[in-house]
């Protein structure tokens, strides 16, 4: 069995077992941008897979993680998507409101 055939067999088994979809076309994704142009440039926008997904951020203290996540939450809300906010740090409602997040719609 060739390497490609082995790989195809393994990928087919994973697709069947876990319901994975390989080779998703660009039509299966929606791209949003945070408005932080350097960030958007580096990650080429956030690809939203139909059905939703999670975004996890980590890094050094005071590096802007919360601000980026709040900007992403704002964009999701503008697209009428549900945003669940989970954090291990304190949440500052006033800062979220300043960045345009509707804190009453956060779960």
Q: pLDDT tens digits, residue range 89-101? A: 889 999 999 999 9
pLDDT tens profile 21-80: 655 544 566 778 877 788 788 777 777 656 566 777 888 888 888 998 899 899 889 988
- By the 8 A CB rule, do 71 and 99 touch? yes
pLDDT of residue 52: 65
Tokens of 7: 């790989």
Burial classification of residue 72, based on how many CB atoms lie within 10 Å of its CB (0-12 exposed, 13-18 middle, 19 or more buried): buried
pLDDT of residue 42: 79
Phi, psi of 103 (to 5 degrees): -65, -20
Q: What's this model's pTM, rounded to 2 decimal places?
A: 0.65
- By the 8 A CB rule, do 20 and 14 touch? yes
pLDDT of residue 90: 87
pLDDT of residue 43: 79
pLDDT of residue 22: 59
User: For residue 25, how many other CB atoms are within 10 A of its CB?
Assistant: 6
């Amino acid at each position: 069995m060739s390497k490609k055939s082995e790989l195809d067999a393994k990928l087919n088994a994973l697709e069947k077992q876990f319901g994975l979809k390989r080779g998703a076309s660009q039509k299966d994704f929606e791209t949003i941008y945070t408005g932080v142009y350097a960030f958007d440039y580096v990650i080429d926008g956030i690809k939203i897979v139909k059905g939703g997904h999670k975004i996890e951020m980590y890094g050094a203290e005071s590096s802007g993680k919360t601000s980026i996540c709040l900007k992403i939450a704002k964009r999701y809300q503008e697209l009428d998507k549900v945003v669940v906010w989970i954090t291990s740090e304190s949440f500052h409602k006033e800062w979220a409101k300043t960045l345009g997040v509707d804190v009453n719609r956060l779960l």
